[in-house]
């Protein structure tokens, strides 16, 4: 149930988005973040003006179905309600390069239609590693059967780094879930929150960075 009025000056909330700078890691071979300054006060200009060149799969970001399926919708066609609403944060303890299964969650049903999983396997957003954990198709199906709208994880991908088949992405398309990747959950206790992770309406885009927050309910 959403609070009657959302007031971030009075309610406790958690920013779960890593800072975006040239130091943030991206998938090897993807486009690193770069900000080009076009105008600046120290240069004698009357304002600050800049542009960015980057992959859309940057930091905390959402994937559009068009990213992982030829029939998938692009980002501007996604229902925003998937990215706004009640959300459960749940910790799982797994070795590196593990695909999470319902057994890792002890088959405990989800308590909200959006689930964020803290694995701790991608500890530094500025340092790339292939050792992060990911989801299994079995877990995706289990979440779909429970009516989940979104699944997120504190790693760069819901699939393992070397999975060219994108098995969990394919399962997510089959069960029509939304994806939130790259969130930072280190200081967020397990529990129920209000998730706000709205993507930009980038026409034709396969992803969008988001400023994701969790509001204590």
pLDDT tens digits along 160-213:
999 999 999 999 999 999 999 999 999 999 999 999 999 999 999 999 999 999
| C-alpha separations of 48 from 36, 41, 183 in Å | 11, 6, 29
The mean predicted confidence, pLDDT, of the chain is: 96
DSSP H helices in the chain: 137-145, 167-175
In a domain, 210, yes or no: yes
In a domain, 24, yes or no: no
Mean pLDDT for 46-62 is 98
pLDDT confidence bin for 5, thresholds 50/70/90: low
Mean pLDDT for 86-93 is 97
Query: Does 153 score more than 60 pLDDT?
Result: yes
What strands lie across the sheet with 84-91, from one edge to the other? 13-15, 213-216, 191-196, 84-91, 114-118, 150-153, 178-181, 61-63, 207-209
Give the pLDDT confidence score for residue 34 in this predicted structure.
98
pLDDT in tens, 21-30: 999 999 999 9
pLDDT confidence bin for 125, thresholds 50/70/90: very high
Residue at token pair 């009075």: 10
Mean pLDDT for 78-103 is 97
In a domain, 45, yes or no: no
Domain that holds residue 97: 13-17+56-216
Please give the share of the chain, as a percent, with pLDDT higher than 70: 98
Cα–Cα distance, 142 to 144 (Å, whole number) = 5
In a domain, 74, yes or no: yes
Mean pLDDT for 150-163 is 98
Query: Does 158 score more than 60 pLDDT?
Result: yes
How many domains does the chain contain in total? 1
In a domain, 38, yes or no: no
In a domain, 8, yes or no: no
Query: Does 129 score more than 60 pLDDT?
Result: yes
110: which 2 tokens?
A: 């989800």
| C-alpha separations of 60 from 198, 199, 208 in Å | 11, 10, 9
Query: Does 56 score more than 70 pLDDT?
Result: yes
**Which positions are annotated as active-site residues?**
67
CATH of residue 141's domain is: 3.50.30.50
In a domain, 39, yes or no: no
Cα–Cα distance, 64 to 66 (Å, whole number) = 5
In a domain, 118, yes or no: yes
- What is the C-alpha end-to-end distance of the chain, expressed in Å? 9
């Amino acid at each position: 149930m959403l609070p009657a009025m959302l007031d971030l000056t009075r309610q406790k909330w958690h920013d779960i988005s890593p800072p975006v700078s040239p130091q943030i890691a991206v998938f090897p071979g993807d486009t690193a973040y770069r900000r080009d300054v076009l105008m600046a006060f120290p240069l004698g200009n009357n304002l600050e003006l800049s542009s960015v060149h980057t992959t859309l799969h940057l930091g905390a970001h959402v994937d559009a179905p068009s990213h992982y399926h030829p029939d998938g919708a692009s980002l501007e066609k996604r229902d925003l309600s998937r990215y706004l609403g009640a959300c459960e944060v749940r910790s799982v303890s797994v070795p590196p390069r593990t695909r999470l299964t319902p057994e890792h969650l002890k088959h405990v049903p989800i308590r909200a239609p959006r689930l964020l999983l803290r694995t701790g396997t991608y500890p530094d957003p500025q340092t790339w590693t292939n050792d992060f954990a990911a989801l299994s198709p079995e877990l995706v199906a289990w979440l779909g059967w429970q009516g989940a709208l979104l699944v997120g994880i504190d790693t760069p991908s819901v699939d393992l780094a070397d999975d060219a088949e994108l098995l969990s992405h394919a399962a997510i398309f089959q069960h029509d879930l939304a994806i939130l990747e790259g969130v930072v959950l280190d200081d967020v206790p397990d529990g129920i929150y209000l998730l706000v992770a709205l993507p930009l309406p980038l026409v034709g885009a396969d992803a969008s960075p988001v400023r994701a927050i969790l509001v204590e309910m």
